[in-house]
Amino acid sequence: MKEKYPRERQMKEQKRNDSVSLKLTLEHSDIRSLSSSLVTEAQFVSEDGELSVSLHSDSFNDARARWNSIMRALIASDRSLEATRGDRN
């Protein structure tokens, strides 16, 4: 079965002052709750069980810091949802 999204894309060599655009699309069983963790963090679209997060920054360093914040928010939200449902990995 062919995957819906490519697993990896190679980036061109990035310089610290180059602008950067990133997009992440993911599926989750409770996408509404997960997306609420991003209200103050990033631009996103949530529909049909998918969440698409977009980030644009004028520098690689800023993009990296903002991307890390987005990932921390998503991870914390997912873990909170697991804890309230009693899921364990």
What is the pLDDT at residue 10?
58
Taking the C-alpha atoms of residue 1 and residue 46, their distance in angstroms, rounded to an integer, is 25
What is the pLDDT at residue 1?
45
| Global confidence as pTM | 0.71
- Hey, what are 5's tokens? 């999204």
Q: What parts of the chain have a pLDDT lower than 70? A: 1-16, 86-89
Domains recognised in the chain with CATH numbers = 20-77 (3.30.56)
Closest CA to 26 of 2, 56, 46: 46
What is the pLDDT at residue 40?
84
